[in-house]
Structure 1
Amino acid sequence: MMSKNNSQSGFARSPCPITSALDLVGDKWTLVILRDLALGKSRYKQFQESPENIPSNILADRLRRMEEHDLLVKTAYQQRPPRYEYRLTQKGRDLIPLLHVLAKWSLKYRLGCWDPPERFWSL
């Protein structure tokens, strides 16, 4: 029997693998940031320039959460003012096939989506 307090076992809602993954990357922005990282963006301003227009406070929060969950690493490239570069970890790179599947599904069922750049498919 499963405890009602799943947070003690490390799961926010349940140990279901779908639910567990969604708890980490199922919000509106995390996979967009993951896409941008995979395509070579590494700096805060570059993420802000994406066509989805992620609000700055949400971007900061998602980058922090992604770092906490070891999906990316943050490295300082400037001290004053402090500025950082972000890179995917292996754990983050392991999510790239999920991006491919979502993109293929959208291209098939969501008319009007733009085709990702060719380099996206070779990630």
Structure 2
Amino acid sequence: MPADASGQPCAIRDVLDWIGDQWSLLVLATLAPGVKRFSQLEREIGDVSKQMLSKTLRRLEQDGFVAREVHAEVPPRVEYRLTPLGMSFLEPMRGLIRWAEANQAAIAAARRVAT
């Protein structure tokens, strides 16, 4: 976990580290309606590679946001769902998405002026 200047763990840096990646929010938003298989996630997200989706799911599982369940079938069926922690993040995430959508044009305009 990233530390602050005093060497203590910094919660906001840790959360922003994974929120800021390209795929985590998309995976969480895609899992919000309910349980999905890997292929469903891949299809619904669209332009994510299998490797990157797998890596993102592993990280979200490690951090306690996503649960993975393997069903003993042939071929094995693997399903992903949000955990209670993942579900608790949905509302703050939706607020961030609403803010980004409302301010996207202003940010783009500021970037044009800065270049």
Q: TM-score interval w.r.t. the shorter chain?
A: 0.7 to 0.9
Q: TM-score, normalised by structure 2?
A: 0.75
Alignment partner of 2:51: what SS?
helix
Contact 1:78 1:84 in 2 (8 A): no
Higher fraction of helix = 2
Does 2:59 match 1:65? Answer: yes
Q: Residues 56-95 of structure 1 correspond to what in structure 2 (within 5 A)?
A: 56-77=50-71, 79-95=73-89
% identity of equivalent residues: 31
What CA distance in whole angstroms lies between the structure 2 residues aligned with 1:78 and 1:36? 25
Q: TM-score, normalised by structure 1?
A: 0.71
Gaps of 5+ in 2: 4-8, 106-115
Give 1:49's match in structure 2, choosing from 40, 43, 51.
43
RMSD, matched Cα:
1.8
Shift of 1:20: 1.4
- Which moves more between the two structures, 46-55 or 62-71? 46-55
Shift of 1:21: 0.6
What CA distance in whole angstroms lies between the structure 2 residues aligned with 1:103 and 1:24? 15
Gaps of 5+ in 1: 1-10, 112-123
